[in-house]
Structure 1
Amino acid sequence: MVIDFSFSNYRSFKDNTEFTLKADSIKSKIDNTFEVDFNSGNTISLLKTAVVYGANASGKSNFIKAFLAFTWLIKNSYKFELNKQQIECYEPFELDINTQDSPVNFKISFAIDAIKYDYEISFSKRKIDFEKLDFSPKGQTSNLFERVLSEDSDYDTIELGKNLVDKRIPKKVFKNQLYLSKFGIDTPHDQLTTVYRYLTNINVWNASNKRTINDLSKEISELIAQPENEKFKNRLSKLIRISDTKIESISSKELKRKSFKLPEELPGEIVDKFYENNRIRTFSYHKVFDGKDEKGLREFDFNAKESTGTKVLFALGGKILKTLENGGVVVFDELDNSLHPKLCKFLIRLFNSKISNPKNAQLIFATHEVTLLDKDVFRKDQIWFAQKNKFGCSELYCANEFEGVRDNTNFELWYRTGKFGGNPKIKEIEFIYE
């Protein structure tokens, strides 16, 4: 589970920005929190959900993209070619000449198996400027590895910590590659591969992006097509059914090549790629009637016949249910896209419930939907806002920083009336047409 995430000089965020899932000591909505008992004997309380609000271009999407850039670099930098490949996710703050060529910085604190870890990186357009991994197995921080920069070589060296088990691993890494990235592909290691797997399994999705929804739908379709996932398929069917879609159930199956009528003159590699992308077909099942009498179920091609909102529910709902089943962290931009606010609240409540979230999975999301600012859904320490200052810098702050705000405060009213900030400042019509 994630404890803290901080970053600086990334997109619209110039200064160091700190986001935390540590829970305040307030007693309300205890089900929205869970306890982590570290091996050191220390205990902290963490939040299961957090939401970020803000006007258009306030920085809330850039906050989500910070998670994506961080995990993407860990997952992909192992394959960067020496001196040839720029680091694609290098996007510094460009409205200040002092930062436009400076490193981007990320740091995350998280827990795996009751042990706290801290991983920190800095990177420029073509090189990693800093990389360090610490852990605290017995309450005191101990280093697992730290990058040592080299000025006259094509690679940096790695200094391994005394508590790192099995030091028979490479101790050199190209300048544009993260050292941790190597332990998910070609170098297995009991400690480092575990950290790599955890961080790259933080799922980050833009729910308003059609391609993202299609990719996620394909992933969910593949899952429910597997017989061993029957329980998951049934649970997803129930979620879609109770959402008033009039769908009774869903299923996916693999079609045979002969099911597709393609021109014979198409090259084999194109046919193979088409089949791979379309071999799994999802179906929905609706009741059919003879007047008022029910006559059974009819099968429909899900992608061809169902609404955009139902397709989004299938994709996001499936990912949410899988995250709840396995544990972990899922991050969404525009969670409310094509979904009714009441349904969004239900999906959030799935994380806050001990029944549906026994493994304490965490949900972080950004939205414009103000009706989700419900005191019956969120505590004040779960609500965040993004806002730009006069210099074009995004700032992130929590509702619990405001004097007078309580957990029974009408959060939606405070936000609508501007008490929290984070609202657009729209000029009058006369200003536009003067």
Structure 2
Amino acid sequence: MILDFSVENFLSFSARQEISFEASNDNTSEDSLIIKVKHPRSGSVTRVLRMSSVYGANASGKTNLLYAIADVWAKLYQPCASKDEKILFRPFAMHRDENTKMTVSFFINGVKYDYSIEYNGDIIIYELLEFNPNGVSSLFYERKHNYETNLPEITFGKNVSLDSKTATVITTNTLANHSVLSTYNKISVEAPAFETVVSYIRNSILATQTHPNITALLKASILQQERKDFLLRAVKEADFNITNIVNRPAERGESKIEFEHDYDKGRFTMPIESESDGTLSFVEKMDI
């Protein structure tokens, strides 16, 4: 459950923009409009709106806000395929030499998590994940980029309960273009605190619940070249900037569908979970 989100230097957003779902003390129709999130240990309660509305003129950035929210989850969850792959980086047109910054706060089983990230097309410059399992905010991990080694420096909090071997494995596998959490998602180590967050993102955020059959549909379609060619022609004519759809083998679990996009700075891949609802609806409704 998301509490708030902010973004800076992303698509049409130049200056920092923020959306919050924290409810006021107004108790009008609160049973229908409010969720009361109770901390499992401290018992503190946070009032969170079940929904919010964003309205504005055409081309005012409403869809870009949804893209930004999807992007921060994708950065957390999905690692790049290799150390040389570019990070999906879509800055404000006049600030292409500046970094994108995002923050998101969310709850898992009543525990609040606060995540922030700063990145460009080549590296993740900074990450900070904090949580409050005991009712007080504490460090989950902090990651800084070392420009001399071109590798991240990572500090893990005590409440994450990582043994030294696991911490070393995660650190050595975290590349400049990988978030720390996404690194865990591609390797085989035991880290319950990490698994809690990864499972939440997978099952509660990125699950394509409104398109339950699309992954199986695409896996079947791209095996047949004629059907795949037809699909790619269709999405190209629909101007989705999609140049390819691939079924990428995964190191953990089943293979994953990814979409390759062409942008002015090159080609980027996005997991199916990060694609817009409009793109998935278009594909799903096609008779392929």
TM-score (norm 2): 0.68
Other-structure match for 1:273: 223
Other-structure match for 1:202: 205
SS in 2 for 1:65: helix
Q: Is the 8 A contact 1:64 1:331 kept in 2?
A: no
Alignment map for 1:215-364 (pairs within 5 Å)? 216=211, 218-219=213-214, 273-274=223-224
Q: Deviations over 1:317-343 (max 9, x none)?
A: xxxxxxxxxxxxx99867xx99xxxxx
58, 64, 69: which one aligns with 2:66: 64
How far apart in 2 are the matches of 1:177 and 1:217? Answer: 28
Other-structure match for 2:130: 134
Assess, with a 3 A threshold, how the Cα gap between structure 1 residues 185 and 85 changes in structure 2: closer, same or farther.
closer
How far apart in 2 are the matches of 1:331 and 1:22? Answer: 27
How far apart in 2 are the matches of 1:71 and 1:271? Answer: 27
Other-structure match for 2:181: 180
Q: Is the 8 A contact 1:4 1:21 kept in 2?
A: yes
| Structure 2 letter corresponding to 1:119 | Y
Higher relative contact order (CA 8 A, sep 6+): 1
- Deviation, 1:185, is 2.7
TM-score (norm 1): 0.47
102, 114, 118: which one aligns with 2:114: 118
Q: Is the 8 A contact 2:116 2:129 kept in 1?
A: yes
Assess, with a 3 A threshold, how the Cα gap between structure 1 residues 17 and 46 changes in structure 2: closer, same or farther.
same
Q: Is 2:163 aligned against 1:164?
A: no
How far apart in 2 are the matches of 1:220 and 1:127? Answer: 29
SS in 1 for 2:153: strand
**Which runs of no fewer than 5 residues in structure 2 stay unpaired?**
229-273, 283-288
Alignment map for 1:404-415 (pairs within 5 Å)? none
- Deviation, 1:272, is 8.8
Q: State the structure with more CA Rg.
A: 1
Other-structure match for 2:14: 14
Q: Is the 8 A contact 2:36 2:45 kept in 1?
A: yes
| Structure 1 letter corresponding to 2:175 | F
- Deviation, 1:32, is 1.2
Aligned-residue CA RMSD in angstroms?
A: 3.2
SS in 1 for 2:149: coil
36, 48, 54: which one aligns with 2:50: 48
SS in 1 for 2:152: strand
Other-structure match for 1:93: 92
| Structure 1 letter corresponding to 2:115 | Y
Q: Is the 8 A contact 2:124 2:178 kept in 1?
A: yes
Q: Is the 8 A contact 1:107 1:119 kept in 2?
A: yes
Q: Is the 8 A contact 1:145 1:161 kept in 2?
A: yes
- Deviation, 1:138, is 2.4
- Deviation, 1:43, is 0.7
How far apart in 1 are the matches of 2:215 and 2:177? Answer: 34
Q: Is the 8 A contact 2:67 2:276 kept in 1?
A: no
| Structure 2 letter corresponding to 1:17 | Q
SS in 1 for 2:158: coil
May I ask how many residue pairs the two structures share in their alignment? 223
Q: Is the 8 A contact 1:67 1:204 kept in 2?
A: no
How far apart in 1 are the matches of 2:121 and 2:275? Answer: 26
- Deviation, 1:220, is 9.3
Other-structure match for 1:327: none
SS in 2 for 1:273: coil
- Deviation, 1:271, is 9.2
| Structure 2 letter corresponding to 1:91 | R
- Deviation, 1:202, is 1.3
Other-structure match for 1:229: none
Assess, with a 3 A threshold, how the Cα gap between structure 1 residues 113 and 271 changes in structure 2: closer, same or farther.
closer
Assess, with a 3 A threshold, how the Cα gap between structure 1 residues 331 and 19 changes in structure 2: closer, same or farther.
farther
- Deviation, 1:74, is 2.5
How far apart in 1 are the matches of 2:8 and 2:207? Answer: 19
Other-structure match for 1:365: none
Using the aligned pairs only, state the percent identity. 26
Q: Deviations over 1:282-333 (max 9, x none)?
A: xxxxxxxxxxxxxxxxxxxxxxxxxxxxxxxxxxxxxxxxxxxxxxxx9986
Assess, with a 3 A threshold, how the Cα gap between structure 1 residues 102 and 220 changes in structure 2: closer, same or farther.
closer
| Structure 2 letter corresponding to 1:202 | I
Assess, with a 3 A threshold, how the Cα gap between structure 1 residues 121 and 187 changes in structure 2: closer, same or farther.
farther
| Structure 2 letter corresponding to 1:109 | S
Q: Is the 8 A contact 2:79 2:186 kept in 1?
A: no
**Which runs of no fewer than 5 residues in structure 1 stay unpaired?**
206-212, 223-269, 279-329, 339-434
Q: Is the 8 A contact 1:7 1:106 kept in 2?
A: yes
Assess, with a 3 A threshold, how the Cα gap between structure 1 residues 272 and 176 changes in structure 2: closer, same or farther.
closer
Q: Please, which moves more after superposition, 184-193 or 155-164?
A: 184-193
| Structure 2 letter corresponding to 1:152 | E
